[in-house]
Amino acid sequence: MPKIDIDALPWREGTGYPAPFAARVGGRARRRLGDAGGLTQFGVNLTRLAPGAMSALRHWHENEDEFVMVLEGELVLVEEGTETVLRPGDAAAFPAGAPNGHHLVNRSDAPALYLEIGTRAEAERAHYPDDDLMAEKTAHGFRFTRRDGTEY
């Protein structure tokens, strides 16, 4: 099995979110470990959150499982109606189809590092309970719309 040279991978910043939402995930950077290893069935990212940054808008997936594990620092897992502090060694899982909107927030004064692992479903819809936003993935790529289906 080929070893992935993690230090040689670039940190990728930015997001696919449309303009009204993209700035809210500033301070997040990822190294795409799964892509570097040629994985096609699931993704693996080493993700760094700066102080004050969040992993994503609070969301849940219809068809994709997600798993996170904190490696360094402290993060707050924000879910439907609850918050949980996660420290190194703590993990959380989000099964596909469970309408539990979630994201991670770094409320500390130090950067945090975590692994995120998720399914790469051919078709997907993500829901954002705090925002007028839907994401749909088809064979043609991702498309972001308002809940009523109009595009951004």
- Strand-pair category, 112-119 with 42-49: antiparallel
What ranges do the domains of the chain cover? 6-145
CATH 2.60.120.10 correct for 6-145 = yes
pTM greater than the 0.75 cutoff = yes
d(CA 147, CA 134): 6
Type of residue numbered 119: T
**Spatial CB neighbours of 99, under 8 Å, sequence gap ≥ 6:** 60, 80, 127, 129
Q: Is the pLDDT of residue 109 over 90?
A: yes
Task: Write the pLDDT tens digit of every residue in 6-36.
Answer: 999 999 998 999 988 999 999 999 999 999 9
d(CA 123, CA 47): 24
Place of tokens 């969301």: 59
